[in-house]
Amino acid sequence: MEKKWWHGKTAYQIYPKSFCDSNGDGIGDLPGIIGKLDYLKELGVDIIWLSPIYCSPMADQGYDISDYYNIDPQFGTMEDMDELLAQAKKRDMYIVMDLVANHCSDEHIWFKKACEDPDGPYGKYFFIEEWHQGEPLPCNWRSYFGGSCWDKLPGHEDRVYMHLFHKKQPDLNWENPALRRELYDMINWWLDKGLAGFRIDAIINIKKLLPFRDFPADRADGLCSAQYMLDEAEGIEVFLDELARETFRKHDAFTVGEVFNPRPEHFPMLLGPKGCFSSMFDFSTAFLGGSDKGWYAAEDVTPDRFKETCFASQKLVEGIGFYSNIIENHDEPRGASRYIPAGEQSETSKKLLAGLYFLLPGLPFIYQGQEIGMEDMPFTDISQVDDVNTISEYQVALDAGLEPKEALRLVCRLSRDNSRTPFQWDGSANAGFTAGGKPWLGVNPNYTRINLAQQRGREDSLYEFYRSLSALRKDPAYRESLVYGSLVPYLPEQKNLMAYYRKGDKTLLVCGNFQTAPQDMALPGKVKAVILNNLPGYEAEERALHLEGYQFLVLELE
């Protein structure tokens, strides 16, 4: 595979609003991030992805952009952004921003102009249709945040516009070359400024099935999931190829796509040397247990399903390109709460989960707070939740007949706000996130126990283990095998054992006992060295390894 600058690096996602607040207003900001660059460097981070910090009315926490060329004042100024780029560069770090191009905010000037004159040039930047009271809407697709994807165009009784997400996020019409040009110019403007690349939001939605048409309803609301139309819409590759050609390729940018449910035939077009993006997230485990019906029908994930899913998903990109691997992000609950069975969360089990996903082929992403093992939030009332999507899913659960208490339990398990609570820096008030008043979202009460200060420098901490993982992938002795080596599952049928080889110039065996009870694992050959262990020791015989509960080992074999 052609070597790229980002191979072998470690990436980190910052959710700016919740990372570090420098001025005491309860909202994380750019100066806060700049102040933590040395910390991230120490952790071993090279690439930093910032969730949106552009001007936004924050209907969807910045994923509704009203000005792509400016920083929202709550996060700082463009001078702060320039300073962040400069300070990152000084430390050999790369900044990646979120590119939200499927939709903008209804407060963006384009949408305002479209409302003023839907038949003028800006009307064609969106999907606006004629509609009269009493008529069916153009189609019955459901918005991802609930309800129809059509809403009345402000100021017009006889027009509707499409929004696949929140109604304050009108979809942009990629069929219009003028709109595409505006987006490319904006992307190049940022890349020229020194940005290393983008995480590309909701990109698979840019191609709509035209003309609009209904699909059979899949819930009592008479609507259908937008996935049906995505499955039938043809031609996204033409848009993506033009996008890459006009922007990313010219800059050798690093790009990672947020692509849900990719079609297997699309993989070579999506990632790898011939792909439109450098990489894309592997969401296969994030989707586990989910139901089309809603959160109330979601199931728990078992260690074996986690394992099978990782291996099957990796197989799809073998020889094509590298995934970006995650166990959580700002749209998911905390990985430690989700993938480790309830009640078994400890630094040891969290290290196992960390090691298992981190050493798969691909680029490991750490989501802020993951490195210290932050867990889901024990919300006690729905009023503590901010996220639009959660509030909609909570309602769906109530409508399905759940008691408020049960619906709240789902929120604690599945809400996006679980991962959006402030970073737990130390054991002081507000976990050291803000020197001032009230954080915009409540701090997880477990911060006195789980915080960075408590782990930094403690040799056996989860945080130090993440540092070792990052260092191991960069170690000249193992880099070739861990970055470019093949993945071969080992004893995939053995229950609650997740083990795999990484075979390159060396043969490494990554193995984890994904349960509290000890278990033995047959050894395929002689152990030359133990290069990582999440417990103080280990027991091996000639042909067998005894693994303690949640023990995780990386072995070099002869």
Q: Which of 201, 282, 387, 548 is catalytic?
A: 201
Does residue number 21 form part of the binding site for Ca ion (CB under 5 A)?
yes
Which of 329, 453, 425 is closest to 20 using CA atoms? 425
Quick check: 63 binds ligand GLC (CB under 6 A)?
yes
Using CB distances below 5 to 8 A depending on partner kind, what does residue 127 bind out of ligand GLC, Ca ion, none?
Answer: none
Interacting span for Ca ion (CB under 5 A) from 29-37, 128-136, 447-455, 526-534: 29-37
Q: Catalytic annotation on 201?
A: yes
Q: Which does 63 bind (CB under 5 to 8 A by kind): ligand GLC, Ca ion, none?
A: ligand GLC
Which segment (7-15, 24-32, 95-103, 341-349) binds Ca ion by CB under 5 A?
24-32
Q: Which residue of the chain is nearest ligand GLC when measured via CB?
A: 63
Residue 100 lies near ligand GLC (rule: CB under 6 A): yes
CA dihedral of 505, 527, 356, 15, whole degrees rounded to 10: -70
Q: Which C-beta is closer to Ca ion: that of 28 or that of 355?
A: 28
- 163 close to 63: Cβ distance less than 8 angstroms: no
Partner in contact with 27, chosen from Ca ion, ligand GLC, none, beta carbon below 5 to 8 Å by kind: Ca ion
Core vs surface per residue 200-211: b (16+ CB within 10 A) or e: bbbbbbbbbbee
DSSP 22-69: SSSSSS--HHHHHTTHHHHHHHT--EEEEPP-EE---TTTTSS-SEEE
Part in contact with Ca ion (CB under 5 A); list of ranges 27-35, 88-96, 132-140, 407-415: 27-35
Could you say whether residue 60 binds ligand GLC (CB under 6 A)? Answer: yes
Q: What minimum distance in Å lies between the beta carbon of 416 and ligand GLC?
A: 7
Q: How far apart are CA 388 and CA 399, in angstroms?
A: 17
Closest listed residue to residue 217, CA positions, set 136, 272, 287:
136
Beta strands in 265-313 (DSSP E): 279-281
Residues numbered 294-353 forming contacts with ligand GLC, rule: CB under 6 A:
330-331
Burial category of 543 from C-beta neighbours within 10 Å (exposed 0-12, middle 13-18, buried 19 and up):
exposed
Cβ distance to Ca ion smaller for residue 362 or 442: 442
Q: At what angle do helices 236-243 and 177-192 cross, to 10 degrees?
A: 40
| 101 or 356: CB nearest ligand GLC | 101
Closest listed residue to residue 106, CA positions, set 25, 171, 183, 182? 171
The verdict on whether 83 is a catalytic residue reads: no
Distance between CA atoms of 359 and 336, rounded to whole angstroms? 17
- Residue 100, binding choice from Ca ion, ligand GLC, none, Cβ under 5 to 8 Å by partner class: ligand GLC
Among positions 153-212, residues that touch ligand GLC (CB under 6 A) are 165, 201-202
Would you count residue 23 as binding Ca ion (CB under 5 A)? Answer: yes
Minimum distance from CB of 3 to Ca ion (Å)?
40
- For residue 326, the minimal CB distance to ligand GLC (Å) is 12
Residues 6+ apart with CB under 8 A from 39: 452
Of 63 and 433, CB closest to ligand GLC: 63
* Range 447-486, binding ligand GLC (CB under 6 A): none
- Over the window 231 to 260, marking each residue x when it contacts ligand GLC by CB under 6 A and - when it does not, the resulting string is ---------------------------x--
CB 297, CB 290: distance < 8 Å: no
CA dist 222 and 245 (Å) reads 41
Task: Find the binding residues for ligand GLC in span 6-35 (CB under 6 A).
Answer: none
User: Measured on CA atoms in the order 36, 40, 46, 51, is the torsion positive or negative?
Assistant: negative
Query: CB of 51: closest distance to ligand GLC in angstroms?
Result: 7
Packed helices 404-414 and 388-399: angle between N→C axes, nearest 10 degrees: 140
Can you point out the beta strands (E) in 274-369? Answer: 279-281, 323-325, 363-367
Identify which of residues 63 and 465 has a Cβ nearer to ligand GLC in the complex: 63
Residue 21 contact partner, candidates Ca ion, ligand GLC, none, CB within 5 to 8 A by sort of partner:
Ca ion
CB of residue 16 to ligand GLC, shortest distance in Å: 13
Number of residues forming the site for ligand GLC (CB under 6 A): 9
d(C-alpha 482, C-alpha 501), whole Å:
10
Q: How far apart, in whole angstroms, are the C-alpha atoms of residue 397 and residue 242?
A: 42
Footprint on this chain of ligand GLC (rule: CB under 6 A): 60, 63, 100, 165, 201-202, 258, 330-331
Tell me which residues are annotated as active site: 201, 258
